[in-house]
Structure formats: C-alpha cells, structure tokens
Amino acid sequence: MRFTLLDRVTAIDPGKSITAIKTLTLSEEYLADHFPRFPVMPGVLMLESMTQAAAWTIRLGEDFAHSIVVLRSAKNVKYGDFVEPGKVLTVNAEVLSQEGALTKVKATGTVGGRTSLTARLVLERYNLADRMAHGDALDARIRSEMRKLWAVLHPAGRGAGHARPVVYGTAVGAAPSPLGSAASSYRQGESMPGAGKAPAISPPLDGMVSAG
C-alpha cells in the first residue's frame, strides 16, 4: 500500500533540513478503529510522516539520484500530545550525518507549538537496478512519480525560470551539505530541474521501526 502522510512542505534546505505539515481529518478511514470514541492519529503513522519528510530532503539534496529511500531504524522515539482531527502536525527533520547509503536524521513533530513526537531516524537510499535485473526501468518510473508528487507537495518550487546551479545544498562559501554530492540549488520560488515531471512516496514502514 502506498500513501502520503504529508499535505505540504513549507520549507526545505535540500540535503540538510525540511519542515512539512500534516492536517488530520475525521474522514481518514483508520480513525474509525483508532479509536471509535477517541479518534487520534496512530503513533506509527506520526512516525511515518517524519520518515517521509526526511526522505524528501534526502531526495532533493541529490536531485532524485536514488529511487528508493526507506526507514532502516527509529531510535529514542518519544510521544507527547495526541494529534486529533482538525489539528495540524508540523514535522521538522534535520540531517545529522551521512555514511555511505545511510543518512542519520533528527526529527520532531509538534501540534500547536507543543511537542508530539521526537525521534532519531536512519534512512537508507538505493536504486532497484543495483538489486534486481531490469530494475532501471522501475527506477525511472519511481523517480518520475516522485517528481510529480514533489510538485504537489511544494508548488512554490514550480516558479518560472531555471534553477541556478551551485554546489549541492550549499551557498557560496558555506559548509558542504551532509550528503556532500553535486546537484542543483533549490530555493523558495525557483523551479527545480525537472519540476514539471514526477515524484513519489516512501514505502510503508512494514514493521521496520525499532523504537529504542
């Protein structure tokens, strides 16, 4: 099952940090069971919102070089306030370090300025072509879908003109991004390379979360 647990990306520094929001509505089907008389967003889905936000800053930081970005582990997970229908969960994710294909992220979720969730995440990125025959076609399709979804989540990135090429994720004279690769700059109001194309979603957690 594929699903998106973010409604809008409000700020992003590619490869470094991201801020996104998720507005919970009573129409979401899982609330009928969680819980019938006290509907709140399940904790695992709050964690998935964080994972999806972190995955976006990784994708943008390397200009969608890898089709798959998944959660490998979640540690120091702490929950605070509930997220009830009508409330807005604001997710902030900051890249701490990059080791090979793994990215360590510090993430927080707040509702009305109060902390609802904090966690340390480790995400892995890869291409299907590296793991299966004929995976390159699937990689191309996933990247295309992800670019399309990105244009929906952050429409400010669809402005006219061309992005100004710089060292990926950094300004002139700034320290290099934790992901340390070369890509196009991205700023509020500027278009990203291939912004008219397509994006996608992080695969579900599938039980990979380890809350420690």
Q: Which residues participate in catalysis according to the annotation? A: 34
Q: Rounded to whole angstroms, how far apart are CA atoms 117 and 77?
A: 7
Kindly write down the DSSP assignment for every residue of 117-131, as one continuous string.
EEEEEEEEEE-GGGT
Using alpha carbons, list the distances in angstroms from residue 150 to 1, 8, 29. Answer: 19, 9, 24
- Please, are residues 168 and 199 in contact by the beta-carbon 8 Å criterion? no
